Every structure is written in structure tokens, then in C-alpha cells.
């Protein structure tokens, strides 16, 4: 559930 890979938001 934790998003730890890649940053697609600004």
C-alpha cells in the first residue's frame, strides 16, 4: 500500500 517508488506528482 505504501508508494515508495517514483515521484509522479508535482
Partner 1 sequence: MNLFRLFGDLSHLASIFILLHKIRTTRSCRGISFKTQALYVAVFVSRYLDILWEWVSLYNFVMKVFFIASSCFILYLMKMKYRPTHDPSIDTFRVEFLVGPCALLALIFNYKFTFTEVLWSLSIFLESLAILPQLFMLQRTGEAETITTHYLAALGAYRALYIPNWIYRYFSEGVVDPIAVTAGLVQTALYADFFYVYFTTVIQGQKFELPA
**CB 1 → partner 1: shortest distance, Å?**
6
Site map 1..10 versus partner 1, x via CB under 8 A: xxxxxxxxxx
Give the whole-angstrom CA distance, residue 3 versus residue 9.
12
**CB 6 → partner 1: shortest distance, Å?**
8
**CB 10 → partner 1: shortest distance, Å?**
6
Terminus-to-terminus CA distance in the chain, angstroms? 20
Residues at the site binding partner 1, with contacts judged by CB under 8 A = 1-10
Amino acid at each position: 500500500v505504501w508508494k515508495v517508488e517514483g515521484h509522479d506528482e508535482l
